[in-house]
Amino acid sequence: MRLVKVLFFCLLVKPLVLLLLGLNLRGRERLPLSGPAIIAANHNSHLDALVLMSLFPLHLIHKIRPVAAADYFLSNRVLAWLARYCIGIIPIDRSGKAAKAQLFAACHAALDAGDIVILFPEGSRGEPEKFGPLKKGLFYLLEDRPQIPVIPVVMHGLGKALPRGEALLVPFNCDVMVGEMLAPSALCTASLMVDELTRQFKALMTQCLTRSQNFDSDEYL
């Protein structure tokens, strides 16, 4: 299982990110190299998780686990195999029916095993290159594990390369801006955490090279 994931990233994802996409990467040294840790990123494309994972060395790749919607990724057998074995997702139930303790059981298990968990606090990919409101799941996930570091990351450009609802990948450069670890004081209440994470996301967004600031109209990406 680990071998499948290493081969998938070594032969497919890393070359694809390097040649077809190309990254403007800032703050790489702030990425954690050992778990448990959480990377909280904005979400625009299926490529988000793959690009984030490609930043880690191959010998760590089996420790990097993105949290992903069970209703989507486990919906058919091919996708489920890819999600489980090649990417190693932590499936999460978005239906709202599961109890809180049950909801995060798999995430907690991963964190307790020392994994680096990738989480998208917007909850879904949303409109291409638009920043959606953050949800509070991350706070509840951390409620009894306050010492786990949370590193915010903002990506821009992948919503152009492969937006929601499109199957054709078009090459674009993409920005990956790694921010400062969230201060423990920001994790006291859910709304404080959402505010702090939103503030960091917005600050990181201004550093993006591929985000033109002079065409204000909503239609431009």
Partner 1 sequence: MQIVNAPHALYAMAASLAVLLVATAIGHWLAKRNVSKDYSELNLRIRSWWWMVLMLFTVLSLGQTPAIVFFGFLSFLALKEFLSIVPIRLTDRRVIFWAYLAIPLQYYWVSQQWYGMFIIFIPVYVFLFLPIRMVLIGDTRGFIRSAGILHWAVMLMVFAISHIAYLLTLPVQNPAAGPFGPVLFLLFMTQLNDVSQYVWGKTFGKRKIIPNVSPNKTWGGFLGGVATITLVSAGCAPWLTPLTAQQGLLAGALIAVSGFFGDVVLSSVKRDLQIKDSGSLIPGHGGILDRLDSLIYSAPLFFHYVYYTAY
What residues make contact with partner 1 under the rule CB under 8 A?
Answer: 22-26, 128, 157, 160, 163, 166, 168, 170-174, 209-210, 212-215, 217, 219-221
Least spacing, CB of residue 48 vs partner 1, in Å: 16
Least spacing, CB of residue 24 vs partner 1, in Å: 4
Q: For residues 85 and 4, is the Cβ–Cβ distance under 8 A?
A: yes
Give the residue with the Cβ less far from partner 1, 27 or 123: 27
Residue 201's H or E segment, with its range, is: helix 190-205
Q: For residues 9 and 15, is the Cβ–Cβ distance under 8 A?
A: no
Least spacing, CB of residue 113 vs partner 1, in Å: 34
Q: Token pair for residue 50?
A: 């793959």
Which of 181, 179, 92 lies closest to 140, judged by CA? 92
Residue 66, CB half-sphere, CA atoms under 13 Å: how many?
27
Sheet containing strand 64-69, strands side by side = 23-26, 174-178, 150-156, 37-41, 116-119, 64-69, 90-92
Give the residue with the Cβ less far from partner 1, 198 or 207: 207
Give the residue with the Cβ less far from partner 1, 91 or 159: 159
Least spacing, CB of residue 69 vs partner 1, in Å: 23
What 8-state DSSP symbol labels residue 105?
H
Give the residue with the Cβ less far from partner 1, 144 or 216: 216
Compute the chain's Rg from CA coordinates: 17
Least spacing, CB of residue 23 vs partner 1, in Å: 8
